[in-house]
């Protein structure tokens, strides 16, 4: 076993050198690390941490120095010779030392040529279980460092076997760990699972096989602690965004839980808002060939519909979140069809939010949601819906127009384009999808003012705005070129204007202007 050298009697030379080394600007080389350790060996530095821990500044200075040393390949290569000190660091009362020890495990693995062998060594010295303790019990910085170390361990087949043991009774099995934790500890376990799940498909598969995703279901079902439930929902939202979620998440179970939460008037509105957004995100990630469970989705839509009815006329974040969720649901063809063909079309709330007298935030969210339902975020071959949904979409547009002073859908669209830049840009997106329908194309082309706006290269002054306007212009041009409307003389004039705008591109504000000579009479005295 390693032994520490006798502690120094005068720390000044060491602390000065350690401070200079820790604060050295730029990357430190292996040669620099070796030179420093030739002067002050690791056992010498460890002895300082053991014997001078109470001296003001000593621990922080030496720890900062060791952190820089262990980041080098040379420094990291020495760590496995001092596993007893690594164990002691992970068990230390000092959060600073525990954090350094957690980071040191990452440095060993990141610099290892054979990660699997290193993992076996780490397991042999019980370091993984100590990392789990640091994750749960450490302060925020230590917990984050432990999480990083565990992520490094799992990136090898041997590491996967360590973190996902076959028996749930093993003390390091994350389900078992979560069962004996405080609420904060359980959230940290969920955060770890979320991070591991996102690493790779093989690790996500291991998480799924270990049945760890049910911990999210259990935590959001337990609504005794509002902050804990909210934290679990936030982590679930991030988990849903993982590229592996569509394959491994149980949508049916989660959607049932979320629908129940949305319908629960007794919980905080913030929880219902997050539940709406997560449910929308879950459905938006449904694969094009994946059959959604219609009864589950219907119960969810009924829950959102019920909340929106209660919130009508209120300026609340929950209302805006619900509208945004409808847009996410409508992003998929199946979701849009369900929104439009339910017995009382839930999509009507989106129209009310766009064209009713709503606040800026609600209206902007609803404009993007309506664009999603119309197909703005779907590929061209999936932009159009089935006959029943398309019929309902058209009816909702004409009903909204009839109930407004604008009278026609073209009037509504022009009104949107006359709003502030953010709403106008959302309007470009909506129109780009709407013109895929013959009636939508006719409405857009029948309003000369709409064509004037979308072909005006001077109207937008930001890159995003210029591109949104140009994409809209190009979408109208493409739809018109593929239609049988060009025989009409007035439409042919519109087509020529669109083609000219498309040729000029998104950024060229003005047509080329030739230089003109200026002739003036000479001044005479």
Q: Tabulate helix, strand, coil % of the chain (nearest 5).
A: 70, 0, 30
Longest dimension (CA), the chain: 108
Q: Which of 65, 96, 116 is the last residue of a domain?
A: 116
Predicted TM-score (pTM) of this structure: 0.81
> What is residue 281's predicted lDDT score, i.e. its pLDDT?
85
Element (H, E) at 343: none
- pLDDT higher at 138 or 246: 138
> What is residue 525's predicted lDDT score, i.e. its pLDDT?
42
SS (H, E, C) 421-489: HHHHHHHHHHHHHHCCCHHHHHHHHCCHHHHHHHCCCCCCCCHHHHHHHHHHHHHHHHHHHCCCCCCCH
Q: Does some domain include residue 173?
A: no
Same domain, 329 and 425: no
- Residue-wise pLDDT tens digits, 481-520: 888 877 777 788 888 888 888 888 888 655 444 455 555 5
Same domain, 400 and 414: no
CATH of the domain at 348: 1.25.10.10
- Residue-wise pLDDT tens digits, 376-391: 988 888 889 999 999 9
- Mean pLDDT throughout 72-78? 90
Same domain, 61 and 107: yes
- pLDDT higher at 55 or 36: 36
In the chain, the percentage of residues whose pLDDT exceeds 70 is: 91
- Residue-wise pLDDT tens digits, 382-433: 889 999 999 999 999 999 888 888 788 999 999 999 888 899 999 999 999 9
Same domain, 258 and 370: yes
Q: Does some domain include residue 471?
A: yes
510 three-class SS: coil
Q: Does some domain include residue 259?
A: yes
Same domain, 351 and 430: no
- Mean pLDDT throughout 84-93? 89
- Residue-wise pLDDT tens digits, 332-354: 888 888 889 887 788 998 988 88
* Residues found in the chain: 525
Q: Does some domain include residue 450?
A: yes
- pLDDT higher at 359 or 140: 140
> What is residue 197's predicted lDDT score, i.e. its pLDDT?
94
Same domain, 368 and 424: no
CATH of the domain at 428: 1.25.40
- Mean pLDDT throughout 298-312? 85
CA distance 202 to 119: 18
* Mean pLDDT of the chain, nearest integer: 85
- Residue-wise pLDDT tens digits, 144-154: 999 999 999 99
Of 59-73, 119-133, 241-255, 275-289, where does mean pLDDT reach its minimum? 275-289
- Mean pLDDT throughout 181-201? 94
Q: Which of 85, 116, 147 is the last residue of a domain?
A: 116
Same domain, 419 and 494: yes
Q: Which of 79, 97, 116 is the last residue of a domain?
A: 116
- Mean pLDDT throughout 187-208? 94
- Residue-wise pLDDT tens digits, 154-172: 988 888 988 998 877 778 8
326 within 8 A of 350, measured Cβ to Cβ: yes
Q: Does some domain include residue 469?
A: yes
Same domain, 354 and 495: no
Same domain, 473 and 357: no
> What is residue 494's predicted lDDT score, i.e. its pLDDT?
84
Q: Does some domain include residue 182?
A: no
Same domain, 414 and 376: no
Same domain, 272 and 386: yes
DSSP states of 138-189 as a string? S-HHHHHHHHHHHHHHTSSHHHHHHHS-S-TTSTT-HHHHHHTS-HHHHHHH
User: Which DSSP letter does residue 316 get?
Assistant: -
Q: Is the pLDDT of residue 137 over 80?
A: yes
Q: Does some domain include residue 486?
A: yes
CA distance 440 to 21: 68
Same domain, 375 and 416: no
Q: Does some domain include residue 320?
A: yes
Domain that holds residue 452: 409-508
Structural domains in the chain (count): 3
């Amino acid at each position: 076993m390693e032994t520490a050298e006798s502690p120094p009697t005068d720390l000044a030379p060491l602390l000065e050198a350690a401070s200079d080394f820790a604060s050295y600007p730029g990357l430190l080389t292996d040669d620099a690390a070796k030179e420093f350790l030739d002067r002050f060996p690791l056992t010498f530095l460890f002895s300082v941490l053991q014997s001078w821990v109470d001296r003001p500044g000593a621990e922080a200075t030496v720890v900062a120095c060791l952190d820089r040393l262990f980041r080098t390949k040379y420094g990291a290569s020495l760590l496995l010779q001092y596993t007893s000190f690594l164990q002691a660091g992970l068990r230390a009362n000092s959060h600073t030392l525990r954090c350094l020890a957690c980071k040191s495990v990452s440095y060993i693995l990141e610099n290892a040529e054979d990660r699997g062998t290193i993992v076996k060594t780490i397991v042999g010295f019980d370091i993984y279980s100590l990392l789990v303790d640091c994750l749960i019990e450490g302060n925020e910085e230590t917990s984050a460092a432990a999480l990083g170390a565990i992520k490094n361990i799992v990136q090898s087949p041997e590491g996967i076997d360590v973190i996902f043991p076959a028996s749930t009774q093993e003390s390091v099995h994350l389900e078992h760990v979560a069962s004996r934790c405080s609420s904060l500890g359980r959230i940290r376990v969920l955060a770890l699972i979320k991070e591991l799940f996102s690493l790779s498909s093989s690790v996500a598969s291991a998480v799924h096989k270990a049945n760890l995703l049910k911990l999210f279901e259990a935590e959001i079902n337990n609504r005794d602690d509002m902050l804990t439930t909210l934290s679990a929902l936030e982590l679930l939202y991030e988990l849903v965004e993982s590229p592996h979620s569509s394959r491994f998440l149980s949508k049916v179970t989660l959607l049932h839980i979320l629908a129940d939460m949305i319908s629960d008037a007794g919980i905080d509105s913030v929880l219902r808002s997050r539940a709406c957004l997560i449910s929308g995100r879950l459905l938006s990630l449904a694969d094009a060939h994946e059959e959604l469970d219609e009864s589950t989705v219907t119960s969810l839509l009924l829950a959102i519909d019920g909340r929106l009815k209660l919130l009508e006329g209120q300026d609340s974040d929950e209302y805006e979140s619900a509208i945004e969720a409808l847009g996410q649901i409508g992003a998929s063809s199946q979701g849009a069809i369900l929104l439009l063909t339910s017995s009382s079309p839930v999509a009507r709330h989106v129209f009310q939010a766009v064209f009713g007298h709503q606040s800026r935030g609600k209206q902007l969210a609803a404009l993007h949601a309506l664009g999603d339902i119309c197909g703005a975020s779907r590929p061209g071959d999936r932009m159009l819906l089935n006959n029943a949904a398309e019929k309902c979409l058209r009816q909702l547009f004409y009903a909204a127009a009839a109930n407004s002073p604008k009278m026609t859908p073209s009037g509504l669209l022009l009104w949107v384009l006359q709003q502030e830049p953010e709403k106008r840009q959302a309007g470009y997106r909506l129109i780009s999808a709407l013109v895929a329908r013959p009636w939508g194309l006719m409405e857009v082309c029948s309003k000369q003012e709409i064509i004037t706006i979308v072909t005006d290269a001077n109207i937008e002054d930001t890159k995003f705005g210029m591109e949104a306007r140009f994409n809209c212009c190009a979408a109208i041009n493409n739809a018109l070129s593929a239609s049988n409307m060009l025989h009409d003389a007035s439409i042919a004039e519109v087509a020529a204007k669109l083609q000219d705008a498309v040729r000029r591109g998104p950024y060229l504000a003005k047509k080329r202007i030739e230089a003109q000579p200026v002739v003036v009479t000479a001044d005479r005295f």
